[in-house]
Amino acid sequence: MSRPSYMKDCLIPKRRNGRLGSGRAAAGRNLTNQRLGTLVERIVETYQGDSGINFIDAANLPVRGQILGILELLFEVLFPGHTGNKAVTRSNVRYVIGDILSQVYTELAEQAKRAYQYQCRVQKCERCDCERMGWNVALELLDSLPRIREMLKGDVQAAFEGDPAARSYEEIVISYPCITAIAVHRIAYELHVRQVPLIPRIMSECAHTKTGIDIHPGARIGRNFFIDHGTGVVIGETSVIGNNVKIYQGTTLGALSFPRDERGRIIKGGKRHPTIEDDVTIYAEATILGDVTIGKGAVIGGNTWVKESVSPGVTVSSPNPDLIYRKNEKKTRTRTRKT
C-alpha cells in the first residue's frame, strides 16, 4: 500500500552503520510513518463540525501576510520617501505613486473578495457578487487616501508640538509608534465603516503587535490626535475622540460592563465606550470606562479610575498617595582576624 501524499515528503532519519543515531537526538527525530499517520488522524478528527477555528471546503480566507504587505505599500503613499524602500523624486513621484496605487488596487480587491466570500459562507448568502464588491471597496479606499494624508499631517504636527523631545517631523514619522498606530487605524477605519469583514481587525492587530497601542478599527478619532509614548494604550470599538486630544501611555478607553442575554452570553453592539470631546488631555494609566463623556478641555490625571461623565474644563485627579520616606542606613561589616 502506497503512503499518503503527506508522508512522501516526510523526513525519516536514515540508518547509519545499521543504527538510527544514538541517545537523545535519535529519540527526538524518530517520527515513524505509523506514528505520523496516527497523529494526522487524531488531528483531523478535531476538524469535525464548524468550530470557527478551521475553514475547510470553502474559499480561502484573507491572507494576513498579503494584508501586511498592502499596509506597507500604503505607507509608501502616505509617507513618500520615509520608508526608504523606494527612492522618490519630483521627477518620478507620479510614476512611483501610480505604480503603488495600481498594485494596492489589485491586491486589496483580491483580499476583500476573500473576506466577502467568508461572510457569505457564514451568512449563507447565495447571490453576493463578492468580486465586484472587492473591486469597489478597494477603489473607495484609494479615493480616501488624500483625506487620510491631510489628517496624518495634523497628527504629526500634534506630536511635534506636544512632545518637547521631538526634533523634527521626519523623526516623528520614522520612529514614533503613535504615528504608525494612528496611520494604520485611519486606513482600517475606512474599511470598517464600509463593513469589510476581517481585514480591518487584521490591520489593527498588526499595529497593536508592532507598537503596543491597541485601537479598535471602529473607534472614531478626530484631527490632531497624539498618543505620547503609547505603550499599553487601549481604545475600544465605540470610542469617539474629538479634535486636539492628547493621551499618554497606559490609558484605557474601555467598557464598564457587558449586558447579557437569558443564556448569559454577551450582547454585542451598542455604545459602550467613552466619548472624549475636543482639547482633552488624559495622563498616564488613566482608566475611563463606559458610555460616559469627557467634556471639552477637561484634564484627566494619571492613575485615575473614571466611570462617570466629566464636565467641560474640569480637572480630575486622585488623592496623593501616602509616601513613606526612610533614610537608608549604611551597614558596616565587622571582620574577625584569624589567628
CA separation for the pair 320, 214 (Å, rounded): 29
pLDDT number for residue 200 = 98
pLDDT number for residue 50 = 62
What is the pTM assigned to this prediction?
0.83
Ranges for all domains in the chain classified under CATH 1.10.3130.10 = 59-218
pLDDT number for residue 35 = 87
More confident residue, 218 or 60: 218
pLDDT score of 67 more than 70 = yes
Looking at every residue in the chain, the average pLDDT score rounds to 89
What are the tens digits of pLDDT across the range 163-185?
999 999 999 999 999 999 999 99
Ranges for all domains in the chain classified under CATH 2.160.10.10 = 220-259+269-319
pLDDT score of 9 more than 70 = no
CATH architecture of 220-259+269-319: 3 Solenoid (2.160)
The region of weakest confidence among 274-278, 311-315, 325-329 is 325-329
Amino acid 170 reads E
**Mean pLDDT to the nearest integer, 110-121:** 93
pLDDT number for residue 1 = 47
pLDDT score of 138 more than 70 = yes
What are the tens digits of pLDDT across the range 87-104?
888 899 999 999 999 999
Q: Are 138 and 104 in contact (CB under 8 A)?
A: yes
pLDDT number for residue 265 = 86
pLDDT number for residue 167 = 96
Categorize the per-residue pLDDT at 239 as very low, low, confident or very high, splitting at 50, 70 and 90. Answer: very high
Categorize the per-residue pLDDT at 337 as very low, low, confident or very high, splitting at 50, 70 and 90. Answer: low
Burial class (CB in 10 A: 0-12, 13-18, 19+), 214: middle
Categorize the per-residue pLDDT at 126 as very low, low, confident or very high, splitting at 50, 70 and 90. Answer: confident
pLDDT score of 19 more than 80 = no
More confident residue, 250 or 269: 250
What are the tens digits of pLDDT across the range 277-310?
999 999 999 999 999 999 999 999 999 999 999 9
Q: What is the CATH number of domain 59-218?
A: 1.10.3130.10
Categorize the per-residue pLDDT at 195 as very low, low, confident or very high, splitting at 50, 70 and 90. Answer: very high
pLDDT score of 224 more than 70 = yes
More confident residue, 6 or 75: 75
